[in-house]
Amino acid sequence: MEKQKAPIDHKNAVIRVHGLKKAFGDYEVLRGINLELYQGENLVVLGRSGTGKSVLIKVISGLLQADAGTVEVLGQNIDQLTTRELQALRIRIGFSFQNSALYDSMTVRKNLEFPLVRNRRGIGRKEIDTSVERVLEAVGLAQTINQMPSELSGGQRKRIGIARTLILNPEIMLYDEPTAGLDPITCIEINELINEVQERYKTSSIIITHDLTCAKQTGDRIAMLLDGKFQREGSFEHVFDTDNARIKPFFDYNFIK
Amino acid sequence: MDTTDTTPIIPKPVKQKRFASFRKSLTDFFASLYNINSFIIRFFKEAFLPPYEFKEIIRQCYETGVRSFTLISLTGFIVGLIFTKQSRPSLAEFGATSWLPSLVSIAIMRALAPLVTALIAAGKVGSSIGAELGSMRVTEQIDAMEVSGTNPFKFLVCTRVLATTLTIPILATYTGLISILGGFLNVYVNEGTSYRTYIGQVFDPLSFIDFTAALIKSIVFGFTIGIVGCYQGYNSSSGTEGVGKAANGAVVTAMFLIFIEEITIVQITSWFR
């Protein structure tokens, strides 16, 4: 399924990353990343495992600190924020984790309520229930409300993970390998959900993946991460219209010739 | 390519290797000491600043108490019973079995009740905190909490440490009472002493300083169990192995520290007697 063209405001960047560097010990994972995510856009970051894709969005969300460079999210430089300011900014960012990161000890309902109760002090029971039902319907899993995370399938867990981030109506969504470990049909369902979220919640998203189907279906723009830098950027066709010996095989192995 | 390199390989002297390894261990030790210190300072900075997590503290207190209640009841009763039984022959040699209640109460209230409670809680509660937070760390649940605008340190660490600090003294008091009851069973069976007389003899030799020292000890032990369990779990490394190490580290370190604290507090208390 081809992706519909989303209305993107190219004058308004919600995330600006400049000269971002991050190393773990002697291994330099990110070596000067420059990135701009525009309002309403789905940007897919492609790359092999271990190239620092997840590190990039963890730095953007403030979970990891950059060694050098600047990261500006919704007009705020995250390095200069106090803990409280960073906490307030994070409410405007949704982060969908690779393994969903659902709270094991809580039911689906409690998982979804948690961010709401924590961030909207004094919120009423009725409003909580309405919000929970709304996001569960948005991800098509209303029947799982009283189930424990251990009772859900991989695809359901991903959906609930996305629903948990949607409950706070984020302006930016960060997806870490949304289709990893899922069967092809569930992958397509998740890709459709990502597009639905973009359309319905007017979010701007960064999608980290090495799944080309996901990239093609969800991305308005693709950025190829290699050796700690973006080597190619543009539409899906443009990125793979190259003879680069390290980019070409990535395409060939994903779409078996 | 010339492969005939004639340079002899000189092995590092054993002494030099040992020194390097010793230096690394020493550096690691001081690094972890610094990290623990920062963790404790962070706890005091965050625990007493609003917003307060009263609901979660109460839930954790309940968890801590309930998790250890059965084991503490059983152990406390048996400790009292066995201690009285084992002490009887020595006192009987001097015809001083009437001193048994006093001996039991002094031993239990001054040392055994807080220590036994703390050791059991370190095993039951400490390991559980270490494993729970460790598993939350490796499955990115702590990160998920952080990105959803919740301070995980305040919600997970501060509440658990406060819960153990508040609950262990209550459990220690309960252990003391149940141990005294265990001692009574032995005294009653052998001497037929009435409960009223026994209780009178039990509380007679105890002074204010005994109760205060026991209370302070339990508070310190509770704090230690909570902070060590949380530190190990919160900073656990990736993988299931990390969770196991966190749970194990929480028990071993807490027990080790509890013994050191016991000696220190006993020494300090003796200066006030």
Do residue A97 and residue B135 have CB atoms under 8 angstroms apart? no
Query: For residue B12, is it within any domain?
Result: no
Contacts of A104 in chain B (CB under 8 A): 135-136, 139, 141
Instruction: Confirm or reject contact between B150 and chain A (CB < 8 A).
Output: yes
A3 falls within a domain: no
Whether residue B149 and residue A119 make contact (CB cut-off 8 A), yes or no, is yes
Please tell me what DSSP assigns to residue B52.
Answer: P
Contacts of A51 (CB under 8 A, 6+ apart): A29, A225, A226, A227, A228
B28 falls within a domain? no
Q: Between B139, B143, B155, which is nearest A63 by CB? A: B143
Q: Is residue A175 part of a domain?
A: yes
Q: What distance in Å separates the CA atoms of residue B53 and residue B57, rounded to the nearest whole number? A: 6
Q: What is the mean pLDDT of chain B?
A: 90
* Nearest C-alpha neighbor of A190 from the set A218, A225, A219, A231: A218
Q: Is the pTM of this model over 0.80?
A: yes
User: Is the residue at B43 inside a domain?
Assistant: no
Q: Report the b/e string of A152-174 with b at 16+ CB within 10 A.
A: beebbbbbbbbbbbbbbebbbbb
Look up the domain containing A23 and give its range.
Answer: 9-254
What pLDDT is attached to residue A254? Answer: 66
Asked, for residue B26, whether it belongs to a domain, the answer is: no
Give the Cα separation of B115 and B168 in Å (integer): 10
Look at B148 and A119 and tell me if their CB atoms are within 8 Å: yes
**Tens of pLDDT, residues B157-199:** 999 999 999 999 999 999 999 999 999 999 999 888 888 999 9
Split at pLDDT 50, 70, 90, the class of B9 is low
| Block mean pLDDT (10 aa), chain A, length 257 | 70 93 92 94 91 94 94 93 90 93 94 91 90 92 94 93 93 94 90 92 94 92 92 89 80 65
**Distance (Å, rounded) from C-alpha A72 to C-alpha A59?**
11
CB contact under 8 A, A115 and B150: yes
**Angle between helices B208-234 and B159-191 in degrees, nearest 10:** 130
Per-residue model confidence (pLDDT) at position B1: 45
Domain assignment of residue A14, yes or no: yes
Number of domains in chain B: 1
Residue A151 is part of a domain; what is its CATH number?
A: 3.40.50.300
Reported as a single tens digit per residue, the pLDDT across B212-263 is: 999 999 999 999 999 999 999 999 986 888 899 999 999 999 999 999 999 9
Query: What pLDDT, on a 0 to 100 scale, did the predictor assign at position B192?
Result: 86
% of chain B exceeding 70 in pLDDT? 95
Considering the domain boundaries, does residue B98 fall inside one? yes
pLDDT band at B5 (very low <50, low <70, confident <90, very high): low
**Residue B59: its pLDDT value, please?**
94
Range of the domain at B79: 53-272
Residue A159 located in a structural domain: yes
B220–chain A nearest CA distance, Å: 29
List the single best residue of B133, B139, B140, B147 to mutate versus A (max A Cβ within 10 A): B147
Q: Is residue B76 part of a domain?
A: yes
Asked if the structure places residue A1 within a domain, the reply is no
Tell me the CA distances in angstroms from B20 to B10, B42, B51, one per residue in order. 17, 33, 47
Question: Nearest Cβ partner of B147 from A90, A99, A102?
Answer: A90
Mean pLDDT computed over B11-17: 72
B96 strand-pairing partners? none
In a domain, B45, yes or no: no
User: Which helix (H) or strand (E) segment is A172 a member of?
Assistant: strand A172-176
The total domain count for chain A is 1
* B9 is a domain residue: no
B240 interfaces chain A, CB cutoff of 8 Å: no
